[in-house]
Amino acid sequence: MLNPDPVLSDLRQARETFWLNPKLTPITEADYGHPLTAAMIDDAEARLRRFAPFIRACFPETEAAGGLIESELTPTPAMQQAMPCPIPGRMFLKRDADLPIAGSVKARGGIYEVLKHTEDLAQAAGILTPDSDYSVLRDHRDFFRQYKMQVGSTGNLGMSIGIMSAAIGYQAIVHMSADARQWKKDLLRSHGVTVYEYEGDYSAAVKEGRALSDADPKSYFVDDENSVDLFLGYAVAAGRTKAQLDAMGIPVDREHPLFVYIPCGVGGAPGGVTFGMK
């Protein structure tokens, strides 16, 4: 028996639909049944700031932002005018397609996870202490060269993980599904990343990549669907956006609600971003 819910029925027939969460609850009352907290997002933001001197030294395009990987929040009045129904308030585009280094929202979560793992390895080896200037990592490429960083990707996740991993010194391996664009494979190879190509879809590339990585104790696999670090890296976007709204004098509160429209694939990126926003 198919579930008679009208929203599910619309989805089954590929009809445009809209769903409002009937269990919408304030963040202070919601019990998510998971251990993630706002303090963990703050911790991720602090970690990205520790890495900023290193990022700035490796990627000159982050110079102006002091090594932070961030995008502009641009007013889009013409687009707002062109919408099929009136949209009150002001409309903005958060331009994560312009994020430096990887050119997609994956530059938040993907790069963050690589940096988190790097900090763990470097602290255990005595290369980094909490007081270090993290640009010192540039002198330790040989240390990271003994480790592999692997990921399965249709393209953008591989770009963020591959480019940052190669910059640190890892042997970076990206397992690409058949739908990945050629220019992304070429760009990764130009950074010294190994690209394996698979006939199958994304899940086939993930399965192969994970199996190869799990068989190697010095290999780390970035798990797009289950990684907490990836999720927390995405969540950092919320505080950054809030700072941009604050700087423009735009309040967000009960009288001035913020509606966020966000494209969703597997859900890791929008899950993290909306968790941070909430």
Where does the chain show beta strands of DSSP type E? 73-75, 92-94, 148-153, 171-176, 194-197, 219-222
Q: Looking at beta carbons only, is 62 or 154 nearer to ligand PLP?
A: 154
From CA 229, how far away is CA 114, in angstroms rounded? 9
Which amino acid would we find at residue 7? V
For position 94 contacting ligand PLP by CB under 6 A, the verdict is no
Choice from 150, 156, 177, 227 touching ligand PLP (CB under 6 A): 156
- Is residue 6 close enough to count as binding ligand PLP by CB under 6 A? no
Residue where the block lists tokens 């698979």: 198
Contact criterion met (CB below 8 Å) for 167 and 187:
no
Helix (DSSP H) and strand (DSSP E) numbers for the chain: 10, 6
Residue 254's φ and ψ, nearest 5 degrees, are -60, -35
Q: Which is nearer to ligand PLP, 62 or 156 (CB)?
A: 156
Residue among 46 and 264 whose Cβ is closer to ligand PLP: 264
Which amino acid type is present at position 234? Answer: Y
Rounded to a whole number of angstroms, the minimum distance from the CB of residue 193 to ligand PLP is 17
Q: Does 232 bind ligand PLP (CB under 6 A)?
A: no
Q: Single out the residue of 47, 56, 94, 106 in contact with ligand PLP (rule: CB under 6 A).
A: 106
Cβ-proximal residue to ligand PLP, closest one: 265
Q: Do residues 143 and 169 make contact, with C-beta atoms less than 8 angstroms apart?
A: yes
Q: According to the binding rule CB under 6 A, does residue 87 interact with ligand PLP?
A: no
Q: Which of residues 258-277 bind ligand PLP (CB under 6 A)?
A: 263-270
Q: Which stretch binds ligand PLP (CB under 6 A): 52-60, 98-106, 114-122, 248-256?
A: 98-106
The least CB distance from residue 265 to ligand PLP, in Å, is 3
**Amino acid sitting at position 230:** L
CB of residue 247 to ligand PLP, shortest distance in Å: 25
Beta bridge partners of 37: none
138 versus 207: smaller Cβ distance to ligand PLP: 207
End-to-end CA distance of the chain: 35
Size of the site for ligand PLP (CB under 6 A): 12
The SS3 call for residue 253 is strand
44 binds ligand PLP (CB under 6 A): no
Which residues contact ligand PLP (rule: CB under 6 A)?
104-106, 156, 263-270
